[in-house]
Structure 1
Amino acid sequence: MGIAMARAENKESAGPAARMAAQVAKRMRVKKGLTQDQLGAQMGYTGAAISALETLAQPVSDEMLTKLELVLGEGTGIFEEMRELVRLEKLPRQFRDYAPIEQKAVGLSLYANHVVHGLFQTEEYARALIAGGYPEPTPERVEELVEGRMARKALFDRKPPCLIELVLEESVLERPYGTEEIMREQLVYLVECARRRNVHFQILAKRAGLGGEYAGDRGELNVIETPDHDRLTFLEIQGESLLITDRAKVSTHTQRYAKIRAQALDPRESLSLIERLAGVQT
């Protein structure tokens, strides 16, 4: 796809929050009597980049909104508030309703059996995974999706903390994306995540089904505990998603997750396995 076509596509696809950010940035720049080059210089960007922001030729980045707040925000927090709205707009449509729920959760019980769960992906692993998908996304859309996925990691350090349980199929650790080096860095990152106090990490071994029981046969599973201590289930496959609130169904999913976790290696065995695959010294 050519640059001109990509820019035209972004102008068409830009959401209300991105359009509002572009309009407010332009009006506040003009109010301050700054040219695009002058504003760009104060923010560490070129005048062309500011022009692309104001005309929606390029998606506004999270970093740019942070710098707009510093230079034009005047302590109002307006661009900081827009950051959250723009982040949501950049997410895949089927994920937008779930994203705010995930960020407010007090507990997440996650099972992934094909790729590393999005919350635990490195930037390069996510980029290789997204760019290699079908239909092939534009480079600009790849960066939007990577940025949105990385923003989810704020949950790891949130106060009060969220307890995050992840059961990952062993086969996921052996399925590289991008390059072998990207996969090695992803494994190292999983080791770092597993050592967090608010993360409970287990691996479901490939041989788990040999004992006659295997609860992971129905695919990936996300069970969420809300601040009100209700439970929800989020399922996503083939670009479609389902947010389930029916108490009986969620109860079944919660019980199934407990079985998956019980059939997995214990946390110490799991950590040792992934350290060995990553080549990390304990």
Structure 2
Amino acid sequence: MRYGPAVRRRKLGAELRRQRELAGMTSAEAARRVGWHQSKVSRIETGSSGVKPADVALLLDAYGVGDPELRALLGALCGAGSQGPQGARRGWWYAYRDLLPSAYLDFISLESEASRLRTLETTVVPGLLQTPAYARAVTRAALGDPPPEQVEELVRVRMARQSVLRGRRPLELCAVLDEAVLRHQVGGPEVMAGQLAHLMETASLRHVRLHVLPFSSGTHIGVTGPFVIFSFPRIADLDVVVLDHLTSSLYLERKEDLRAYSEAFTALRAQALSHENSLDFIAGINDGP
């Protein structure tokens, strides 16, 4: 879809409708203010059609929304990347648009604007916590030994994504990792040793929390597969769950789905080791028998 997945269109439309109502305007008044037909405003608000970044900026101007953070978030939801005071500007990932599938670009744009990310991983280390060597090995395995130059480009993207953990307002990351994630010899013993050391180093950041689900904890609700929950600053209704499949990603936005996955994550975190004990557990694996 040209201006982002359906889930983002609907969430963007709902927030634009809320901003219009806060401004005390009807959809007809908003349309007159920006020189459109009322049906265009309605289609945008219901998410039935995409919206260009410039149109989002035009509506926000009409509603008197000057908050740069809110404008940046809504700009990202229509696929614009960050939004500056002069209008939309593209995110850094735009330069990789010919290399990356649209689902991955959508994921990166959400990740770049989220304030919190909760994730369950059952087989591999989350991308935001990978070392270059580990990312290289995962990429080769996932793509079936692609050309070396393609691997390096994808690894650069993976490393660039990690800037969200070290910015002025870093992403709050909480990851529950099945013990299998730590045991799989991705790239061999040397690569895994470096990866486990990197996990412990990154977990020292105050906004990063790791929780290991040891094999001894038995069966858990996460056996159905990994998932990511994105949360956004100040607008809870924009939260979204992402499920990755081999050839696509599924975005879940219904309140029932969000509640179910949030409750599942809370249960998994309670069943897992504490952050401190998880780091000791990882150190024990890295030290060997």
Q: Which amino acid aligns with 1:97?
A: D
Q: Which amino acid aligns with 1:135?
A: G
SS at match of 2:120: strand
Structure 1 SS opposite 2:192: helix
Distance 2:158 2:94 in 1: 14
Match of 1:232 in 2: 240
Aligned to 1:201: 210
Structure 2 residue 137 is matched with structure 1 residue 128: yes
| Superimposed CA distance per residue, residues 221-264 of structure 1 (whole angstroms, 9 cap, x where no aligned partner) | 10110122332101102131011111111111111111111110
Residue 156 of structure 1: which of 160, 165, 173 is its match?
165
Q: Give the residue type in structure 1 aligned to 2:230.
A: I
Q: How many Å separate the matches in 2 of 1:84 and 1:177? A: 26
| Aligned equivalent of 1:221, options 203, 208, 227 | 227
1:100 aligns with 2:106: no
For 2:97 and 2:255, how far apart are their aligned partners in 1?
Answer: 27
In structure 2, the CA distance between the partners of 1:172 and 1:257, relative to structure 1 (3 Å rule), is same
Retained in 2: the 8 A contact 1:88–1:99?
no
Percent identical: 31
Q: CA RMSD in A?
A: 1.9
Q: Secondary structure at the match of 1:173?
A: helix
SS of 2:224's equivalent? coil
| Deviation readout 1:84-125 (Å, 9 max, x if unpaired) | 411354334321112111111111001100111111110000
- SS of equivalent to 2:262: helix
Task: Indicate the residue corresponding to 1:66 in structure 2.
Answer: none
Q: 1:192 Cα shift?
A: 0.5
Taking structure 1 as the reference length, what is the TM-score of the superposition?
Answer: 0.66
Q: Which of 265, 278, 283 is equivalent to 1:270?
A: 278
8 Å contact kept, 1:94–1:239 = no
Provide the residue aligned with 1:74 in structure 2.
Answer: none
Amino acid at match of 1:262: A
Q: Structure 2 length normalisation: TM-score?
A: 0.64
Map 1:106-145 → 2, pairs under 5 A: 106-145=115-154
Change (3 A) 1:82 1:164: closer
1:248 aligned to 2:230? no
Q: Deviations over 1:120-149 (max 9, x none)?
A: 110000101111334332212111211111
Gaps of 5+ in 1: 1-79
2:156 aligns with 147
- Aligned residue type for 2:184: R
SS at match of 2:161: helix
Quick one: distance in 2 between partners of 1:134 and 1:127?
Answer: 11
The AA in structure 2 aligned to 1:221 is F
**What secondary structure is seen at the aligned counterpart in 1 of 2:229?**
strand
Q: Indicate yes or no: 2:188 matched with 1:191.
A: no
| Contact kept? 2:242, 2:251, Cα under 8 Å | yes
The aligned amino acid for 1:223 is: I
The alignment of Structure 1 onto Structure 2 pairs a total of residues equal to 198
Aligned pair in 2 of structure 1 residues 105, 89: CA closer, same or farther (>3 Å)? Answer: farther
